[in-house]
A and B are shown apart, each in its own frame.
Chain A
Amino acid sequence: MNVKNMQEALGYECLAGEAWLDRPVKGAYQSDLLSDVMGKAQAGMVWVTSQVHKNIVAVASLKELSAIIAVNERKVDPEVIEAANEEEVIILASGKPAFETGGELYRWMSETKSG
């Protein structure tokens, strides 16, 4: 299970970090509180969030998360995308609300693990 499989299966748009899409995915964590992610997310997880400011790049990079999935149609500033590309952070956009994004991701991960 890698970011590219996930992105293709769930139709996410890749906004940053296209060169690292073969990175493995080891689970997911959903939260909009940065310290919650710092404390609880594990390396290799994808992070589902509605935060799109620049500091999400630092969190994803420091925690070695496999990708950020921005929910809804949140607009991600070019400055954030540039920082992500520099820090080798992948940002995907789900285009759906957090609940739907989390639900689809959970189902995909369960099916992919068992299949």
Chain B
Amino acid sequence: MRIEYHIEGGDFSSGGSASSAVRKTLKQFNIAPLLVRRIAVVLYEAEMNVVAHAYHGTMTVDIRPTGIHVVIEDSGPGIEDIDKAMEEGFSTATDEVRQMGFGAGMGLPNIRKNCDEMKLTSTPGEGTRLEIQVNF
């Protein structure tokens, strides 16, 4: 089963709605609650990264018998230094975004901790692609 969601950059009030929709679908499939919570963390962080940093993006979710595979692709400024971006505490978020409690530099580390496979690629000036897999 494949579902695609649009994510709008800067739209904090709708931020998290794609993740919430996937979570509800997974619950209907009777996926173990612990797994659903891990997937929710991964999707939320990935979705909010697009909201906080990019212009717009898509989240494509593939639910397979063996696990969930998600690709989040955005058009945006991209990431200059991926190793740096993966470091806990590092963030390029604006002050405005930080005041809302985002930009703590924990988003990508949270994704890494909660998924089984993660592939992050980016072209500065164009956008970012994040591919993640969580096995059931």
Residues of A in contact with B (beta carbons under 8 Å apart): 32-36, 38-39, 43, 49, 51, 53-55, 57-59, 61-64, 79, 87
Contact = CB atoms under 8 A, between A and B. Distances in A.
Contact of A54 (B13, B19, B107): B13
B33 A43 contact: yes
Given A54-B13, A63-B40, A35 B45 contact: yes
Interface of B: 12-13, 15-17, 19-20, 23, 33, 37, 40-41, 44-45, 48, 100-102, 104-107, 109-110, 113
A49 B102 CA distance: 13
22 contacts: A32-B101, A34-B48, A34-B100, A34-B104, A35-B104, A38-B44, A38-B45, A39-B41, A39-B106, A43-B37, A53-B13, A54-B13, A55-B13, A55-B16, A58-B16, A58-B44, A62-B20, A62-B44, A63-B37, A63-B41, A64-B33, A79-B13
